[in-house]
Each structure stands twice: as C-alpha cells, then as structure tokens.
Amino acid sequence: MKSVVFLDDLKESDIRPEKMYDEYKELLRQDTLKYFSDHSLLVKVACPGCLNKNSKGVFKKDGFNYCICDKCGSFFVSPRPSDEALRDFYKNSRAGIFLRKKFLTNTLESRSKNIFSYRIQWITGLVEEYAPSAKVFLDYGTRYPTFMKELDNTGIFSSFFSVKPEYFGQEDLLPKNVKTAEAKCIFKEDIDVFAAFEIVERVFSPRELFRQASAACRKGGLFIITSATSSGFEYQVLKEHSPNIIAPDRLNILALEALTNQIEKSGFEIIEVSTPGRLDVEIVKRVYEKNPGIPLDSFWKYIFNNRDANALHSFQEYLQQFRLSSHVRIAAIKK
Ligand SMILES: [Zn+2]
C-alpha cells in the first residue's frame, strides 16, 4: 500500500477565506435551527465507523450532539437528519445556496489550482497503473461541475455519471457527456472509477455509500475517496474547538482505520492511504492565537510560542508522512 506527501504550501485562506467562511457558518447556524430544531425528526445512529451502539454525546455544536466513539475514535453526529432532510437542506437552505453561489464560486480558481489539479494527477496516475482500460467515471454527490470539466479535458474517460449531484442550478458548467442519476445508485458492476470527494462526511450513512460503490464498480474497478478524518492532528488536538467541525456538513469524521476497515469489508482491496492535508498545523496555531484559553496541551503551546515557520512546516510534513493529517485520501480496487 502506498502513501504520498505534498510539499507545496497551501494556506487555509486560499480555499476558505475567513470572512466568507464565517458568514457561511453563521448562515448554517441559523438554518440548522430552522430546519432541524424539532429533534423528533432526527434519527439516532450507531457509530458510522464501527457500528458500536454505546457511544454517548461528548459535545454540542450548534444544536447538534457530537459523539466520539470509544471503540474506533470516530466523531459523529447522533441523532441526525434523515437522508431526505439533508438533501432538502443542501438544496434549499440559505447556507446551501450561499455555499454554491458565493463560497465555492469565489474560491473556484484557487480550488482548481490547489485541489482539482492534484485530484486529476491522482486519478490519472491510478488509472495508468491499475486500470488502463478505464472509460467510465462516476462522481458521487458532485459539487464541482468545473472539476468534471477539467477531468473531461484529460480525454481519459469517455463517459461520466454524476449520482445525487449537489450542483443545483449549475448544470450548464458540466461537460456535455455527463449523465445524472438522482435518487439511487442504479449501476451494477459497470463503473471503472467511482469517486466520492468530501462526501463521506456529509451522507446519512457512509456504510451505504461504500455498499453502493461496491455494487457499482466492475471487478478491478477503482473506488477513490477524500475525507476529513478524526485521526488527524487538527481534530485530535482541537476536538470541538476545530473550526471545521460543523454540522450537517460534517456528520461523520471517521477514524482512518474505521474508513479503511469499512471499505475493505465492502469488497475492496486498499491500494493507497495518504493524508496529504497541508493545513492542520496552521489551523491549530490560528485557533490557539485567537483563543489562547482553549484547553490545549502545553507542548503545543510551547511549539507555537517558540518555534518558527520552518519548524511548523516540517511538522506538517511529518504529519503527512506518517498519515496523521486530518485530510485523507484512499484508493481501493474492487475484488
Ligand atoms: Zn466506532
């Protein structure tokens, strides 16, 4: 199994400009009160990382109850909105509209340079090595029609499917050869590459997503995901103080091993696990500087107070190298 590191610098403000991100989070807070304050409509779930039923709430965030599984270490919201309620929320809430129309649109150029280009290199490399005859690409929960267009420009794939897309109203940005499927994954062993970028965190049931991926992929087909992971530095150190624990965007922040175990159990062999995240150290440092009173271990405070940018950069590299960053990418091959 391989693992890669990225040495390029990325600033959080490149992809999440603070003012706009705060505006989004404020809308999210108001909208979740409006949509989900009736707790009788929420569904209690077992740990989505290992199905342990005994985890209890550990902290609250904007009205949602976050649990940390005492078996696998995954962070998750329970009780949570149903699949239908989430879809309605992402499509119609002011936060959902702001995210598509302003936040993602305004950061598109930077995302293309700092995120999409890496993804395309990743996909190109995987296909070349493991699935050279691949032609059919499926993107689950598509949020970036522009990414699909950039991928189409590589000429690798001849057809694209977008399942349960979230680009409502931006269909004209898609390449021409994309077919969309709204409700359920209707594919049966005919997909060469099944991708789920930043989706595991948002779905009602990650297990159901992995099951659908397994049913859709042909033997030898690839399943690739990117996700936040609770095993990483940012979430381990900050927990509820992480500015990126926001619901319902992050209902599931699964531990690294919980992700790989579930993917394997769904019928895949893991071929790559990397944590190419470039932001953990910057995020933790910034949270500490803005709020020096947070319960942060004195060792981290010492580092932030007494070491320079070079040391922090090397530390982020270390996190990548040993799969300890909070952003993971996994590639697996269907058995
Ligand atoms: Zn668990």
Q: What is the mean pLDDT of each run of 10 residues along the chain (335 residues)?
A: 70 82 93 90 96 91 94 97 93 92 84 87 96 96 90 95 87 87 77 96 96 96 97 97 95 98 98 93 96 94 96 95 96 98
What is the reported pLDDT for 333? 98
Which 8-state DSSP code applies to residue 102? Answer: I
Distance from Cα 1 to the centre of ligand 1, integer Å: 24
Q: What is the pLDDT of residue 4?
A: 75
The pTM for the full model equals 0.94
The kind and range of the H/E element at 223 are: strand 217-228
Q: Please give all residues whose CB falls under 5 A of ion ligand 1, grouped by chain where several chains appear.
A: 47, 49-50, 52, 69, 71-72, 74
d(CA 76, CA 83): 15
Cα(228) to centroid(ligand 1), Å: 15
Q: What is the DSSP string of 243-298?
A: TT--TTTTSEE--HHHHHHHHHHTTEEEEEEE-----HHHHHHHHHHH-TTS---H
| CB 36 within 8 Å of CB 85 | yes
Q: At what angle do helices 206-216 and 256-265 cross, to 10 degrees?
A: 40
What's the gap in Å between 244 CA and the centre of ligand 1? 20
Distance between CA atoms of 63 and 83, rounded to whole angstroms? 18
Environment class of residue 275 by beta-carbon count within 10 Å: exposed (0-12), middle (13-18) or buried (19+)?
buried
Q: Go through the domains of the chain in sequence order and give each one's CATH number.
A: 12-40+95-334 (3.40.50.150)
> Residue with structure tokens 């499509």?
91
Region at 186 (left for phi over 0; alpha for psi -120 to 50; beta for the rest) = alpha
pLDDT of residue 51: 96
